[in-house]
Structure 1
Amino acid sequence: MEILDIFFNVSVMQRAFPILLRGLTNTIVLGLTAIFFGGILGVLVCLVRLYAPKPLRLLAVAYIDLLRAIPILVVLILVYYALPFAGITLSSFVAAAVALSMVLAAYSAEVVRAGIEAVPKGQFEAATALGLSFPRTMQKVILPQALRIVIPPLASYSVSIFKDTSLASVVAMNDLLKQATDAQALFANPTPLILAAVFYVVLLWPLVRFTSRLEERFKQAYGR
């Protein structure tokens, strides 16, 4: 009974539930924001990496390598605590969204690059023969084919970004983990942390299964 009272206290769960629910909402909004902007930025960085003049390509390579090498927590701390020294002050939500988007963009850029390079070169030549401009070729011909290839790994990275939203508590954003730790201190009981873990499982487990299904369908479609 003692372990139940400590880690699975029903009374504490009932009181902490509304607090954690607000944190869950913030976590979902943060995750979706990071995925949206990180995906767009990743495609742009990829196109610069492949087709821009050499100096810009080198900058894109440096961006991708650095953001993949630096831990997300370090990026988050730099964005939130270092930018004010340059006169740029961001809220905890914006700082977390910027940091997560930047890191996701670096990984997305490499995935999309692999997808574009997997498209046969004849597709480019055919589009050129039809008189399509480069932007139109990418929009209508290349990217639709590449995205079918890169969706499974991009979905996997998106799930990882959702998990990494818990790092936003470091900059005092009221995400799920921050609300759980505050509730733990308020009620002097670790039950809110257990409840937060349940929330994460309920949120992320379907996404993990969805990603696995995508990978299976990808193997069936392209593994023949």
Structure 2
Amino acid sequence: MRFLDTFFNGQVIANYLPDLIAAMGVTLGLAVATIVTGILCGAALACLRVAGIRPVNFLIIVFADVMRALPPLVLILILFFGMPSLGLNLSGWMVLYLVLSAVLTAFAEEIFWGGLTAIPAGQWEAGRATGLSKAQTLVFITFPQAARRGIPPLVNRVLATTKLTALGSVIGVKEILSVSSSAQSFSGSATPLTMAAIAYLVLFIPAVIASHRIERRYHYAT
């Protein structure tokens, strides 16, 4: 009974469940926005590198390396506490969205670029031989193959990045961990943290299951 009262207190659950449901909506919305932005921007940067413009490629490489090297929390703190001194006040949600999107963009770009470099030169030559321009060959022939090759590692990176939404608790974003931590402090019970764990499972277990199926389907894609 003591275990249940500590981790599954009915009164605490009733008091904080509406707040936690709202926090789940914030977490899910942030995750979806991050995924869409990161994948699209990463694909765009990888395609841009195909043009072979050295200054542009250099900037893309530097961006990807920096974003992958720096801990996301450092970037979040720099933006949230540093930008106001420059006269730019960003909400916690926007800071978290920008940082996680940038991180996912960097990884996605490298994944897509790796797929593009793995495409045999004959594929490019075949496209050009049929009268397609270099851009058309990229869009209709090589990039779809590269994207297919990159699906397994991209799915893993998407899951890893979206779970970083929990870092929003550091800057006051009302996501799951932030709300549950506040509830735990006010209630003096571990129940809100148990609720948070269950909420994360509800949100991410379906995504993990879907990722396994996607990986099995495309792992040996060529």
Could you tell me the TM-score, scaled by structure 2's length?
0.93
Letter in 1 for 2:89: T
Aligned residues: 222
Residues 180 and 196, structure 1, Cα contact 8 Å, conserved in 2: yes
Q: Deviations over 1:129-166 (max 9, x none)?
A: 22322332222111111111111211111111221001
1:45 is matched with 45
Residue 190 (structure 1) aligns with: 190
Within-5 A mapping of 1:65-214: 65-214=65-214
Structure 2 unaligned segments of length 5 or more: list them.
none
Which residue matches 1:59? 59
Q: Structure 1: give runs of 5+ residues left out of the alignment.
A: none
Question: Cα–Cα, structure 1 residues 219 and 43, in superposed 2: closer, same or farther, change >3 Å?
Answer: closer
Q: Residues of 2 paired with 1:80 and 1:136: CA distance?
A: 41
Once residues 111 and 220 of structure 2 are traced to their aligned partners in structure 1, the CA distance between those partners, rounded to angstroms, is 20
CA distance in 2, matches of 1:169, 1:135: 43
Equivalent residue letter for 2:54: K
- Asked if 1 retains the 8 angstrom alpha-carbon contact of 2:183 and 2:192, the reply is yes
SS in 2 for 1:25: helix
Q: Which whole-Å deviations, capped at 9, do the CAs of 1:191-215 have from their partners, x for residues lacking one? A: 1111110110121112112212222
Aligned residue number for residue 29 of structure 1:
29
Q: 1:174 to 1:207 in 2, by over 3 A?
A: same
Q: Matches of 1:50 and 1:196 in 2, distance apart?
A: 44
The 2-side partners of 1:47 and 1:79 are apart by 28
Any runs of at least 4 consecutive aligned residues in structure 1 with deviations exceeding 4 A, and if so which? none
DSSP-derived class of the 1:155 partner: helix
Q: Is the 8 A contact 2:123 2:141 kept in 1?
A: yes
Alignment root-mean-square deviation, CA: 1.6
Q: Percent identity?
A: 34
